[in-house]
Structure 1
Amino acid sequence: MVQKEVVYVVSDSVGETAEFVVKAVATQFNGGHVEIRRNSYVDDFEDIEDVMILAKKDHSIIAYTIVVPSLKEYLDRRASEEGIMAVDLLSPLMNAFTTKFNKEPHHQPGLMRKLDEEYFRKIEAIEFAVKYDDGRDPRGITRADIVLIGVSRTSKTPLSMYLAHQRFKVANVPLVPEVQPPDELFQIPRKNCIGLIISPDKLNEIRKERLKALGLASQANYASFERILEELDHAEKIMKRVGCPVINVSNKAIEETAGLILEILKKERSF
């Protein structure tokens, strides 16, 4: 039986990066005969001393990804004193970044994992916004961070997607006189809901353009002033009943409205 060589992977975070690099290198040397022993979340000198004892006993290599300067310097010094080969997998590239871009690294462990977690939260929020768009499933109302309500063409869907990219789970519900709003809308805290209103003239203009884009007559009831006033009156009554903050989106860009929504939520939730 062939004796496996041992490589100690040491990291002040999880250590996945170092292990991946070691495995990639090991494949070039009949990698099946290399045993990787991972030491994660190393955050003090005692942890490093423990690894030194083991690495010296096994006559092994230490491959490390440590970004905290004091720990890195201590590991380098102790490895040199003990005659252990220690390979820094990050510093050469970090030094190149510093030289090329004239910026200093944060020296903070776990930042890549934090970025990964934020990415997956964003994907989850986007999927949520798609699933609970346009009142498709009222269960989303009670699960959402933000619920947007308003008549058709008040930018509920684009706002939902924009806020989802900021990692907020958003559901939106259209308010139509002929359709009773879902009961869930009156069960959530008022601070979770935002009403979107718009001037009749602006809504008339937007709806006419929408009909034109669909190849339909601009005189359709959807764009008539009578219908618009009826819808806006109905929406205002629902918003008053919910007791939610209201934003007029008449002449606002999506980014501006989203900023106002986040300001309102921050203020409402601070009490």
Structure 2
Amino acid sequence: MSHLAIYVISDSLGETAEQVAKASISQFDMTEYEIKRYSYVLDEENLMDILRLAKDENSIILYTLVNLKFVECLVKFCSENNIPNVDLLSDLINCIALRTNTAPRREPGAIRKLDEQYFKRVEAIEFAVKYDDGKDPKGLEKADLVLIGISRTSKTPLSMYLANKNIKVANIPLVPEAQAPKELFEVNPRKIVGLTNSPQKLNQIRTERLKALGLSSSANYASYQRILEEISYAEDIMRRIGCPIINVSNKAIEETAGIILDVMKKNGIKIYKD
């Protein structure tokens, strides 16, 4: 049995095609074979160089190419040189197009771009968790966006919501008894958004929070006087920074997030494509 060369040609990584090759070859009792993977084949000259190499061997070509010109070129060359070849994408793409009545993008590396978006989202979520509630002020300089506000102004839910849009968010609680971190005043004010709420809404939310914790609703945390002091303290800091202030009272997370995204666009802050 002559040595078999399986050529895997892809406009992306070619990992899927290589795995198909390995799964197929495992069905045979043979050791005289080699899988040669060629990734990111994005120009015709490179493709032809690979095909000429395959011509000189006992080869099979397995490919995942979305560029129709490249596919036609490969099929023509293989037909002229009697090289068996398998297209792993075109039939399925055509079936999907037929069933959905939509045209494929035929964009090389599309799945890799989707993977990159996924990992950016995961990175942003991990960032939001790591720098939630002022855990580490050093993260402020790395953030795409910094949210500041007193307790119960939706800082954490908004951080997580925006993280799912690939935005790295850090948030800092503003408490009269605790000095705001110096790093906050070193951040570009255009990257900072202040959050506030109405005293009535905060009283209601905090009272329910105390009940959930089994604590007395008369605690200072929920008192109007305390809430007014916190709001005054926080808004004073926000004015010093010069950042926009959003009142989240009676706003859904999605609505507040939409306002924040508009502010970021207006301020020229990069927003990652979802």
TM-score with structure 1 setting the length:
0.95
Residue pairs, 1:114-193, within 5 angstroms? 114-193=113-192
CA contact (8 A) 1:23 1:31 kept: no
CA contact (8 A) 2:9 2:65 kept: yes
| CA deviations over 1:158-205 (Å, ceiling 9, x no partner) | 001101111111111100000000000000100111100111111111
CA contact (8 A) 1:203 1:228 kept: yes
Q: Which residue of 2 aligns with 1:233?
A: 232
Report deviation, 1:100: 2.5
Task: Decide which moves more: 38-47 or 204-213.
Answer: 38-47
Q: Which residue of 1 aligns with 2:99?
A: 100
Q: Does 1:247 align with 2:246?
A: yes
| CA deviations over 1:193-223 (Å, ceiling 9, x no partner) | 1100111111111111211222222211111
CA contact (8 A) 1:11 1:40 kept: yes
Task: Decide which moves more: 203-212 or 259-268.
Answer: 203-212
CA contact (8 A) 1:141 1:147 kept: yes
- Matched residue type, 1:15: G
RMSD of aligned alpha carbons:
1.6
Q: Secondary structure at the match of 2:217?
A: coil
- Structure 2: gaps (5+ residues): 270-274
Task: Decide which moves more: 57-66 or 91-100.
Answer: 91-100
What is the rounded CA distance, in whole Å, between the counterparts of 2:16 and 2:139 in structure 1?
A: 37
Report deviation, 1:18: 1.4
- Matched residue type, 1:171: A
Report deviation, 1:236: 0.6
Aligned length: 270
Q: Does 1:67 align with 2:52?
A: no
CA contact (8 A) 2:6 2:60 kept: yes
- Matched residue type, 1:200: P
Percent same amino acid among aligned pairs? Answer: 58
What is the rounded CA distance, in whole Å, between the counterparts of 1:122 and 1:250 in structure 2?
A: 28
Task: Decide which moves more: 29-38 or 52-61.
Answer: 29-38
Report deviation, 1:16: 1.7
- Structure 1: gaps (5+ residues): none
Q: Which residue of 1 aligns with 2:88?
A: 89
CA contact (8 A) 2:2 2:58 kept: no
What is the rounded CA distance, in whole Å, between the counterparts of 2:29 and 2:158 in structure 1?
A: 54
TM-score with structure 2 setting the length:
0.94
CA contact (8 A) 2:152 2:202 kept: yes
- Matched residue type, 1:69: L
Runs of 4+ with >3 A deviation: 30-33
| CA deviations over 1:21-53 (Å, ceiling 9, x no partner) | 111211112464321112222223322221221
CA contact (8 A) 2:127 2:169 kept: yes
Residue pairs, 1:3-42, within 5 angstroms? 4-30=3-29, 32-42=31-41
